[in-house]
């Protein structure tokens, strides 16, 4: 049985960029007569906005994007992340490097803009260093998968990303760990999300293997960006979806996803054709 999900961060109200991911995953799940779950990725407390989770849920309801089962909040699932870290124990090590030290000896910049960690603390914390973050050891085996929209993908983690953080220096579980634990816990078979996360997928598949989880299918839809090429977000000033005009919001989103126009969501489900999604990582739009 198909199980999909929408996993927003409650940093502000739903904007066009997140609606693209929400509608694509909802349509894919409904067209497959599957379940569609909502999960709030609210681990990063300082970035949260009070009331944003409820605003997002209210907008989904107003648009007719109904979900199945209770909404899951990552902030209430810390025990599961803790046991996953315990399970990864033989594959992780403590790193004492500061951001500055990593950029001074980095192997370059990864596709997602982060520094490639050179493995400084792999053989043990250097003398006089305090443990900061927990990293997982990567290798040189290519991690490959076939994305349903973006085509075949492959990444050699050690070379292109480096050993990556699963527990952060600020005491938070890393996004990559939490998302993998949650997708497994919720039995997700199909991840449909924005292509800004395409480069995270190999790390997530790698963790799934280490933890003995199965790997879902992936479909990365183009990310909506502004004229400057920045991903739409609260930080880049994206406008909230106007819930007074739900049909217009759905119409614009269907167009962005390359889908045929539809009079309502029933027709949009019937028309849903993932092969029409533009095979692009990002598409610039005029405004959120
Ligand atoms: Zn280090």
Ligand 1: distance of its center to the CA of 169 in Å? 11
* Whole-angstrom distance, CA of residue 225 vs CA of residue 20: 11
Q: What are phi and psi of 85, to 5 degrees?
A: -60, -40
Would residue 168 count as lying in a domain?
A: no
Would residue 59 count as lying in a domain?
A: yes
Would residue 158 count as lying in a domain?
A: no
Domain extent at residue 58: 3-78+217-284
Would residue 186 count as lying in a domain?
A: no
3-state percent helix, strand, coil for the chain, nearest multiple of 5? 35, 20, 40
Number of domains in the chain: 1
* 25-59 burial: b if 16+ Cβ within 10 Å, else e: bbbbbbbbebbbbbbbbbbbeeebeeebbebbbeb
**Stretches in the chain below the pLDDT threshold 50:** 288
Tokens in use for 35? 């379940």
**Is the Cβ–Cβ distance between 256 and 283 less than 8 Å?**
yes
Ligand 1: distance of its center to the CA of 140 in Å? 19
> Which CATH number do you get for residue 45?
3.40.50.620
**pLDDT tens-digit profile of 208-226?**
999 999 999 999 999 999 8
The pLDDT of residue 287 is 59
The pLDDT of residue 177 is 98
Would residue 230 count as lying in a domain?
A: yes
**DSSP string over 15-74:** BHHHHHHHHHHHHHHHHTT-EEEEEE----GGG--TTHHHHHHHHHHHHT----SPPEEG
Ligand 1: distance of its center to the CA of 86 in Å? 20
* Whole-angstrom distance, CA of residue 124 vs CA of residue 131: 10
* Whole-angstrom distance, CA of residue 27 vs CA of residue 271: 9
Ligand 1: distance of its center to the CA of 94 in Å? 7
Residue percentage of the chain with pLDDT more than 70: 99
* Whole-angstrom distance, CA of residue 236 vs CA of residue 15: 11
**pLDDT tens-digit profile of 68-120?**
999 999 999 999 999 999 999 999 999 999 888 888 877 888 888 888 999 99
Ligand 1: distance of its center to the CA of 133 in Å? 8
* Whole-angstrom distance, CA of residue 132 vs CA of residue 135: 10
Ligand 1: distance of its center to the CA of 97 in Å? 4
Would residue 258 count as lying in a domain?
A: yes
142-147 and 151-156 strand pairing: antiparallel
Would residue 202 count as lying in a domain?
A: no
Distance of CA 127 to the CA centre of its chain: 36
Ligand 1: distance of its center to the CA of 126 in Å? 8
The pLDDT of residue 288 is 43
Ligand 1: distance of its center to the CA of 254 in Å? 45
Would residue 193 count as lying in a domain?
A: no
Q: Quick one: DSSP state of residue 276?
A: G
Q: Name, in order, each residue with C-beta under 8 angstroms of 33's C-beta and a sequence gap of 6 or more.
A: 2
Ligand 1: distance of its center to the CA of 139 in Å? 17
Ligand 1: distance of its center to the CA of 215 in Å? 29
Q: Which residue from 88, 90, 119 is spatially nearest to 102, judged by alpha carbons?
A: 119
């Amino acid at each position: 049985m198909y199980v999909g999900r929408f996993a927003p961060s409650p940093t502000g109200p739903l904007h066009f960029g997140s609606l693209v991911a929400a509608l694509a995953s909802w349509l894919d799940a409904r067209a497959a007569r599957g379940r569609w779950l909502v999960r709030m990725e609210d681990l990063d407390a300082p970035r949260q906005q009070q009331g944003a989770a409820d605003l997002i849920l209210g907008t989904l309801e107003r648009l007719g994007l109904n979900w199945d089962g209770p909404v899951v909040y990552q902030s209430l699932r810390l025990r599961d992340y803790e046991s996953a870290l315990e399970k990864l124990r033989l594959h992780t090590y403590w790193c004492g490097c500061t951001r500055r030290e990593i950029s001074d000896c980095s192997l370059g910049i990864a596709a997602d803009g982060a520094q490639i960690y050179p493995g400084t603390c792999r053989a043990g914390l250097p003398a006089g260093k305090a443990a900061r973050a927990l990293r997982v050891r990567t290798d040189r085996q290519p991690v490959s998968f076939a994305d349903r929209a973006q085509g075949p993908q492959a990444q050699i983690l050690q070379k292109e990303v480096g050993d990556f953080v699963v527990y952060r220096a600020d005491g938070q579980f890393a996004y990559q760990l939490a998302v993998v634990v949650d997708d497994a816990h919720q039995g997700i078979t199909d991840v449909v999300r924005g292509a800004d996360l395409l480069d995270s997928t190999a790390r997530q598949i790698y963790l799934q293997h280490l933890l003995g989880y199965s790997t879902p299918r992936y479909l990365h839809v183009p990310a909506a960006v502004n004229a400057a090429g920045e991903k739409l977000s609260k930080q880049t000033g994206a406008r909230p979806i106007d819930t007074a005009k739900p049909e217009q919001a759905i119409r614009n989103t269907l167009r962005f996803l390359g889908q045929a126009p539809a009079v309502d969501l029933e027709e949009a489900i019937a028309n849903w054709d993932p092969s029409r999604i533009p095979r692009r990582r990002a598409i610039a739009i005029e405004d959120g």
